[in-house]
Amino acid sequence: MKNKLLYLSSSVIPSQSANSVHVMKMCQAFNKYYNVDLLCYTTENECNEDDIFSRYGIINKFKISPLYIKRLRGKFFQKIFQILKILKSYNKNTMIYGRDGYSVYLAALLGYKVYYESHGLPISKLYTFIEKSLFKHKNFKKLIVISDKLKELYLTTNNLLNNDNIKVLHDGADELDLSKKGTDLGTGFHIGYIGSLYYEGRGVDVILEVAKLNPDFHFHLVGGKDEEVKYWQQKAIKNIKFHGFLPHNEASQYLLSFDVVLMPYQKNLMLADMKVNTSSWMSPMKMFEYMSAKKAIVSSSMPVIREVLNKNNSILVEPNRINEWSDAVNILFKDCNLRNKIANNSYNDFKQNYTWLQRAESIKCL
């Protein structure tokens, strides 16, 4: 019989956020090894689990315990007593894993052994205090981070941590059924981007400039809030199509149809509603989703990106040099053998190292 795992998340589910995708995919992967319960938040009065699983492309289902909130600010403090009650209902042998420092620390105080995953340094004094309190607690077992750079930053800013209690696990992706047909985009050369259209640092402006230099290519952007789509549409030319936000399973169908995919992160990458630059430590899920779809990737060359991508599995260019981006897509258009070679190499690297199941198994073995 499988042991129980309680995943403590600060994600709002369902939502458009990448963190909600990460949490749902990891819970599905964990469910192979544990009986998984997910504690999360929701802004919907009624949650239909089957609809949620469908939106996120979840096949191996698990238990979801959503806590309804009226506002996004202070989610944990709105529901602290409910979270406390839920935690107390589990026996002390339950594995507690999560990305929400507040609830993970509360679990440690209650006597549970806890594993904490971080995707960035804390951005408030309170959260810094909570993390430090967690790291020195006797029930803290391991910190999981998403890049070597983030590990380095934690080690240099926190003397409570050492190499033994930090584990680097980059993000991951599902194994796609590559035999399936993607969305019919028509004839021509199709270049795609899937992800946020947030204004600062995503490189949407780079894609628009590359499109202007290559009017015969078709550019597709999947993702973004309605107001973001409208903003960029006003600046785009006719060979760019905005598809807006799509559920994760539908976005994958577009991904399968692209000839080349772009990852034009800039050095001033900001999270929406947070003035914090994540470009030095990020591990974007889209990178692994691109790899899983067996696509030729053109990406910004940044140290943290080069932890995964290299000259064999991608074309790396300077983030803001438009001509380099244009040259790269033209090289891939003209050289089908190179395009296939890069796609195959990135796919093989993904299969060997970056599936959600491999990630969950690595955590199981800690």
| 272 and 152 assigned to the same domain | no
| 155 and 199 assigned to the same domain | no
How many domains does the chain contain in total?
2
Strand spans (E) along the chain: 3-12, 34-42, 63-68, 95-98, 114-118, 140-145, 166-168, 190-194, 218-222, 240-244, 260-263, 270-271, 274-277, 296-300, 315-317
| 208 and 335 assigned to the same domain | yes
- 294: nearest Cα among 261, 269, 324: 261
| Boundary (domain end) residue, out of 168, 199, 222 | 168
Contact 262, 207 (CB under 8 A): yes
The encoded tokens of residue 271 equal: 């999270």
| 153 and 203 assigned to the same domain | no
CA-CA-CA-CA torsion sign (83, 10, 41, 51): negative
CB-neighbour burial class of residue 2 (10 A; exposed 0-12, middle 13-18, buried 19+): exposed
| 249 and 138 assigned to the same domain | no
283 occurs within a structural domain: yes
| 93 and 56 assigned to the same domain | yes
Determine how many CB atoms are found less than 10 A away from the CB of residue 292: 23
| 246 and 152 assigned to the same domain | no
pLDDT values of the chain reduced to their tens digit, one per residue, 366 residues: 799 999 999 999 999 999 999 999 999 999 999 999 999 999 998 878 999 999 999 999 999 999 999 999 999 999 999 999 999 999 999 999 999 999 999 999 999 999 999 999 998 999 999 999 999 999 999 999 999 999 999 999 999 999 999 999 999 999 999 998 899 999 999 999 999 998 678 899 999 999 999 999 999 999 999 999 999 999 999 999 999 999 888 999 999 999 999 999 998 876 655 567 888 999 999 999 999 999 999 999 999 999 999 999 999 999 999 999 999 999 999 999 999 999 999 999 999 999 999 999 999 988
Task: Look at residue 278 in the predicted model and tell me its pLDDT.
Answer: 84
Cα distance between residue 250 and residue 222, in whole Å: 10
First to last CA, the chain: 20
| Range of the structural domain that residue 285 is part of | 190-353
358 occurs within a structural domain: no
56 occurs within a structural domain: yes
| 213 and 327 assigned to the same domain | yes
Looking only at the bridges linking them, the beta strands covering 34-42 and 274-277 are: unpaired
Task: Look at residue 48 in the predicted model and tell me its pLDDT.
Answer: 86
User: What b/e sequence results for 256-279 when a residue is b if at least 16 CB atoms lie within 10 Å of its CB, and e otherwise?
Assistant: bbbbbbbbbbbeebbbeeeeebbb
The encoded tokens of residue 300 equal: 């910004």
Cα distance between residue 324 and residue 313, in whole Å: 17
- 105: nearest Cα among 10, 20, 4, 21: 10
| 122 and 239 assigned to the same domain | no
Contact 283, 295 (CB under 8 A): no
116 occurs within a structural domain: yes
Task: Look at residue 279 in the predicted model and tell me its pLDDT.
Answer: 86
Bridge partners of residue 5, in order along the sequence:
36, 95
Order of strands, sheet of 218-222, starting from the edge strand that comes earlier in the sequence: 240-244, 218-222, 190-194, 260-263, 296-300, 315-317
Three-state SS across 122-145?
CCCHHHHHHHHHHHCCCCEEEEEE
CATH number of the domain bearing residue 40:
3.40.50.2000
178 occurs within a structural domain: no
> 């938040």: which residue's tokens?
41
| 245 and 345 assigned to the same domain | yes
173 occurs within a structural domain: no
Bridge partners of residue 257, in order along the sequence:
none
211 occurs within a structural domain: yes
Residue 173 DSSP symbol: B
Task: Look at residue 201 in the predicted model and tell me its pLDDT.
Answer: 83
Task: Look at residue 83 in the predicted model and tell me its pLDDT.
Answer: 98
| 156 and 194 assigned to the same domain | no
Length of the chain: 366
| 152 and 198 assigned to the same domain | no
Contact 161, 233 (CB under 8 A): no
Percent composition of the chain: helix, strand, coil (DSSP 3-state, to 5): 40, 20, 40
364 occurs within a structural domain: no
